[in-house]
A and B are shown apart, each in its own frame.
Chain A
Amino acid sequence: MDVSTILILAQDGLINGAIYVLLAVALILVFGVTRVVLIPQGEFVSYGALTLASLQLGVMPGTVWLLLILAGIVAAMETVRLVSSGAGRELPGALAITLVPPIAIAALAKMCASQHLALGWQVLLTMLIVIPLGPLVYRLAFRPLADASSLVLLIAAVAVHFVLVGLGLLFFGAEGVRTPPFSDAQLTFGTLTVSGQSLWVCATSFTFIALLAWFFSRTLYGKALRAVAFNRNGARLVGISPQLAGTFSFALAAAIGCLSGVLIGPITTVYYDSGFLIGLKGFVGAIVGGMASYPLAAFGSLMVGFLESYSSFWLSGYKDVMVFAAIIPILLWRSLSSVHYEEEE
């Protein structure tokens, strides 16, 4: 193994690691705010790549139908809830909030699908379609379970993962897609060739992380979200709605997943079920951070990226085994390094 191989593998590791960092951040955020271990995170990754691919083929993406169906179900549930609780006056407002944005997005997608827009606009449209799926999934599956034990939430998360993978197959078929790169540039540094796409991935990922860091440390709403993650009841007492925070964290998770899907679309072939493994690798990173620490999770996710790229060189058949088996020593380290006393419920 020579220096250039080492560098190429490091480059691969960094690109994948950057994606895993993004996913790990979303997982920790959702877990902190809602106690949901977001197993379906990876499906937003597949949906992002597949939606973009459909738009590029000039086809109406299946996720638009999913968006409309979910919004329809939520609207029906809200109607039943408001009418049965005698708050029928609020119904038009609630229906407008639930139905108008998805219908507008669907109309936009319908108009633009056959237009062959520039890549940037297609990415934007993809984000518009996929992001609302996050809050809708939260509203349908998790919000009614807000008081349940975290075990119940975990099982619900796995169930949602099944549903979304199945729907992915239904709407997009079993064919894999590869979207065109954002840039065809090839930069050469000595023996190392860096593709424009990998620069795009790293730059976007790190910009987004910087934005998130700014959001959580500098804005009022970001601080409120951290407060909910720290103490849900306390946050409720000072007027922060846990439901709103849950909705927002799911939107952010969907946005991060979709963005990751758009970024890796040109690097690897994405199938309807590819997102699951990608999302789980983000989990390994998040577990390094104990599902709580963002910096440690980022470090862990980068390590996962490097571990994956180097083990694919030495033991190509075993790279996924390596990544997931690594969780055992990580958990052992966490178990030994922390003291556990049970909190009074």
Chain B
Amino acid sequence: MIRRVGFILFLILVSLVPLCSSYYITLGSYIGLYSLVAVGLVLLTGVAGLTSFGQAAFMGVAAYTTAMLTVKFGWSPWLTLLIALALTMAIAFVLGAITLRMGGHYLPLATIAWGISLFFLFGTIPALGGSTGIADIPALQLFGMELRDEKVFYYLIWGVCLVALWISINLLDSREGRAIRALKGGVSMVEAFGASGHRLKNIVFIYSAFLACLAGWLYAHMMRFVNPSPFGLGQGIEFLFMIVIGGPFSVWGAITGATIITLMKTLLQGILPKLISQTGNFEIIVFGIMIVMVLQWMRGGVWSLVERLLPPKPNKPINESSTLAHRPQPARGEPLLKVDAVTKAYGGLLAVKKMSFELSAGEIVGLIGPNGAGKSTMFNLISGELPRTAGNIYFGSEKISGLRPPQIARRGLSRTFQHVRLIPGMTALENVMIGTYLRTHDGIFSAGLRLNRATEAQVRAEAARQMRRVGLEESMFIPAGNLSLGKQRIVEIARALCADPVLLLLDEPAAGLRYLEKQELARLLSDLRGEGLSVLIVEHDMDFLMNLVDRIVVMEFGEKLAEGLPGEIRSNPDVLEAYLGGV
């Protein structure tokens, strides 16, 4: 309720600005344009954990494209909008394709370099008018009406900005959006559920460039004049400052930050030169100090203070049942997983040496061994997270070694992580919903335009079903980061179950669990086996495994030491030697 009232007050405030003097209308238009860019940057920086200093340069590409084509060739601004969008997104695609596969600092450095080159190009290419720029850009025409009036243009800008805001919020609350929100914790989790981290990063970067392009095009037709100075690196950095001050984790932070920085800049440019009796853009000193302080003490920005005052968002209703398709499970006893002489070498060190074992459908197999035996390496070789050095792994009759994790996930393997990989700020239910990534197919367009509601309801119902199945119904709407470690591990299992797997891979699921929690986990796993699911567990807790699993494979020093029924393993002298150092 309070949220709704706040939103309506915000809309009223935005729509009342044109009643003020022309000075404030211009200021309001700037805030709208900058918000548009900042929203894209929030998705890129605050949500996906990437960043760009080149958003002003993207604006520049759009502004110069439309200026050139409308002034020199007389093309319609609506046509040049399409051309500018295509050009900007192509540039973003190339920059992203080159840098996003490498470490996190390469994209920002590349955007700094490209922002500077572009700024110099705008200033030196004679056809672009050098530092004087291009004047007499035609006004936009809509339904035969020329948009020359600043009030009308103000509403146009804010209309576009609010639509972008709506699309961005929808996008974040969707199948692709949940995967994007998971990127900050590293790509391996989303890849284990079938998403391509590289593709998602590229999508976010292109989307942020798209919004910057819209802003640049609007800017050119608002000012009806372009020159290089508003598209320099300094402006690109200021956009980043806006979201840091406003709050990088929410799209509302973008609007907050754009407003604060724009107003402060106007204010400081009036005050500081008088104070210092010298001209120059001294506001950058104040902004810089502010940013460092915000980063040290208030990383959620100003919006996080507002968010704290607001009541929590209402939980969405959950349907009784879902109709998401299930894959056929293989018949009990069919060979499912075959590890054949797999070796993993790190230089001269053999972490896994010629390991071979098999697992049949409907079976729970435990992979045990002392610390450093190579269990987790073996696990990551099966899930595809590490490439093997030699040997093969088969799933059913198909070879899966050499495939990347998303391709392996597609074939019905689903995993948990030794170090829990949930997104702390998302509710447990939303985390579990990520598991259905491969079972639904809504793309970013249907998400942005909210055409995905029916599928979303299905996904929510399925996730809730899995939460009930693992006995965590009451924790569904709690942020995952607030749950105990034991519950977080169970949420990971629910997420893995949401992928409708054939084989469940569990990496030390009992680590850090209390005795009763371990008993519950064992009961859950044997229930799952009862339903026909196959499970491979890496674990060191012998007691936990003994009464649960069908067979045990023991590893030591990267090699298979023994294999057999739990009772046999318990009395195997080699295993006792490895665990207890001889009897």
Q: Which residue of B lies closest to A343 (CB)?
A: B186
Write the nearest CB–CB distance from B79 to chain A, whole angstroms. 28
Residues of chain A within 8 A of B98, CB atoms compared:
328, 331-332, 335
Q: Does B548 contact A (CB under 8 A)?
A: no
Q: Does B318 contact A (CB under 8 A)?
A: no
A113-147, CB under 8 A of B: which get 1 and which 0?
00000000000000000000000000011001100
Write the nearest CB–CB distance from A144 to chain B, whole angstroms. 5
Write the nearest CB–CB distance from A339 to chain B, whole angstroms. 9
Q: How far is the CA of A151 from the CA of B50 in the complex (A)?
A: 7
Q: Which residue of B lies closest to A39 (CB)?
A: B112
Q: What's the tally of chain A residues with a CB closer than 8 Å to chain B? A: 51
Q: Does B475 contact A (CB under 8 A)?
A: no
Q: Does A236 contact B (CB under 8 A)?
A: no
Q: How far is the CA of A331 from the CA of B113 in the complex (A)?
A: 11
B41-57, CB under 8 A of A: which get 1 and which 0?
00001000111010000
Q: How far is the CA of A345 from the CA of B282 in the complex (A)?
A: 40
Q: How far is the CA of A274 from the CA of B215 in the complex (A)?
A: 30
Q: Which residue of B lies closest to A284 (CB)?
A: B113
B20-61, CB under 8 A of A: which get 1 and which 0?
000000000000000000000000010001110100000000
Give B47-79 interface residues, CB cut-off 8 Å to A: 49-51, 53
Q: How far is the CA of A325 from the CA of B295 in the complex (A)?
A: 31
Residues of chain A within 8 A of B110, CB atoms compared:
327-328, 331
Q: Is the CB of B280 within 8 A of A150?
A: no
Q: Does A148 contact B (CB under 8 A)?
A: yes
Q: Does A20 contact B (CB under 8 A)?
A: no
Given contacts A155-B240, A159-B241, contact A169 B113 (CB under 8 A): no
Q: Does B557 contact A (CB under 8 A)?
A: no
Q: Which residue of A lies closest to B280 (CB)?
A: A169
Residues of chain B within 8 A of A148, CB atoms compared:
295, 299
Given contacts A144-B296, A159-B292, A167-B285, contact A280 B244 (CB under 8 A): no
Q: Is the CB of A345 within 8 A of B113?
A: no
Residues of chain B within 8 A of A145, CB atoms compared:
295-296
Surface stretch bound by B, among A10-18, A91-99, A213-221, A315-323: A315-323
Q: How far is the CA of A331 from the CA of B102 in the complex (A)?
A: 9
Q: How far is the CA of A170 from the CA of B104 in the complex (A)?
A: 34
Q: Which residue of B lies closest to A161 (CB)?
A: B288
Q: Is the CB of A318 within 8 A of B292?
A: no
Q: Does A306 contact B (CB under 8 A)?
A: no
Task: Select which of B102, B104, B121, B240 is within 8 A of A150 by beta carbon.
Answer: B104
Say whether chain A's binding surface is mostly helix, strand, loop, or mixed.
Answer: helix
Q: Does B163 contact A (CB under 8 A)?
A: no
Given contacts A144-B296, A327-B110, contact A154 B105 (CB under 8 A): yes
Q: Is the CB of B109 within 8 A of A37?
A: yes
Write the nearest CB–CB distance from A183 to chain B, whole angstroms. 34
Q: How far is the CA of A26 from the CA of B112 in the complex (A)?
A: 19
Q: Does B101 contact A (CB under 8 A)?
A: yes
Task: Select which of A152, A318, A345 is within 8 A of B295 by beta carbon.
Answer: A152
Q: Does B569 contact A (CB under 8 A)?
A: no
Q: Is the CB of B51 within 8 A of A154?
A: yes
Q: Is the CB of B108 within 8 A of A170?
A: no
A149-169, CB under 8 A of B: which get 1 and which 0?
111101110111111111101
Q: Which residue of A lies closest to B105 (CB)?
A: A37
Q: Does B120 contact A (CB under 8 A)?
A: yes
Q: Does B99 contact A (CB under 8 A)?
A: yes
Give B80-113 interface residues, CB cut-off 8 Å to A: 95, 98-99, 101-102, 104-106, 108-110, 112-113
Q: How far is the CA of A145 from the CA of B298 in the complex (A)?
A: 12
Q: Does B188 contact A (CB under 8 A)?
A: yes
Residues of chain A within 8 A of B104, CB atoms compared:
150-151
Q: Is the CB of B299 within 8 A of A152?
A: yes
Task: Select which of A151, A155, A341 is within 8 A of B291 by beta carbon.
Answer: A155
Q: Is the CB of B124 within 8 A of A166?
A: no
Residues of chain A within 8 A of B386, CB atoms compared:
341
Q: Is the CB of A321 within 8 A of B124?
A: yes
Q: How far is the CA of A118 from the CA of B332 in the complex (A)?
A: 91
Q: Does A44 contact B (CB under 8 A)?
A: no
Residues of chain B within 8 A of A277, CB atoms compared:
116
Residues of chain B within 8 A of A338, CB atoms compared:
102
Residues of chain A within 8 A of B120, CB atoms compared:
317-318, 320-321, 324
Q: How far is the CA of A202 from the CA of B95 in the complex (A)?
A: 35
Q: Does B114 contact A (CB under 8 A)?
A: yes
Q: Is the CB of A149 within 8 A of B186?
A: no
Residues of chain A within 8 A of B387, CB atoms compared:
341
Write the nearest CB–CB distance from B481 to chain A, whole angstroms. 15
Q: Does B454 contact A (CB under 8 A)?
A: no
Q: Which residue of A lies closest to B240 (CB)?
A: A155
Q: Is the CB of A342 within 8 A of B287?
A: no
Residues of chain A within 8 A of B117, CB atoms compared:
320-321, 324-325
Residues of chain B within 8 A of A327, CB atoms compared:
109-110, 113-114
Q: Is the CB of A283 within 8 A of B49?
A: no
Residues of chain A within 8 A of B280, CB atoms compared:
166, 169-170, 174
Q: Is the CB of B299 within 8 A of A162?
A: no
Q: Is the CB of A162 within 8 A of B49?
A: no
Task: Select which of A150, A160, A169 is within 8 A of B288 by beta carbon.
Answer: A160
Q: Does B284 contact A (CB under 8 A)?
A: yes
Q: Is the CB of B296 within 8 A of A166?
A: no
Q: Does A287 contact B (CB under 8 A)?
A: yes
Q: Does B281 contact A (CB under 8 A)?
A: yes
Given contacts A291-B105, A318-B124, contact A149 B282 (CB under 8 A): no
Q: Is the CB of B285 within 8 A of A166?
A: yes
Q: Is the CB of B295 within 8 A of A155?
A: yes
Q: Does B16 contact A (CB under 8 A)?
A: no
Task: Select which of B50, B95, B288 is within 8 A of A159 by beta carbon.
Answer: B288
Q: Does B278 contact A (CB under 8 A)?
A: yes
Q: Does B1 contact A (CB under 8 A)?
A: no
Q: How far is the CA of A159 from the CA of B117 in the complex (A)?
A: 21
The 8 closest A-B pairs by CB, nearest first: A163-B288, A166-B285, A162-B288, A159-B291, A327-B113, A324-B113, A317-B124, A162-B284
Q: Which residues of A contact B (CB under 8 A)?
A: 37, 140-141, 144-145, 148-152, 154-156, 158-167, 169-170, 173-174, 277, 280, 283-284, 287, 291, 317-318, 320-321, 324-325, 327-328, 331-332, 334-335, 338, 340-342, 344-345
Q: List 27 A-B contacts (CB under 8 A).
A: A37-B108, A141-B292, A151-B49, A151-B51, A159-B241, A159-B291, A159-B295, A162-B237, A162-B287, A164-B288, A166-B280, A166-B282, A170-B276, A170-B285, A280-B116, A283-B109, A318-B120, A321-B117, A321-B121, A321-B124, A327-B113, A327-B114, A332-B98, A338-B102, A340-B101, A342-B188, A345-B186
- 15 further A-B pairs in the complex, CB-CB below 8 A; given A283-B109, A327-B109: A37-B109, A160-B292, A162-B284, A163-B289, A166-B282, A166-B285, A167-B285, A169-B282, A277-B116, A328-B95, A331-B99, A332-B98, A335-B98, A342-B188, A344-B419
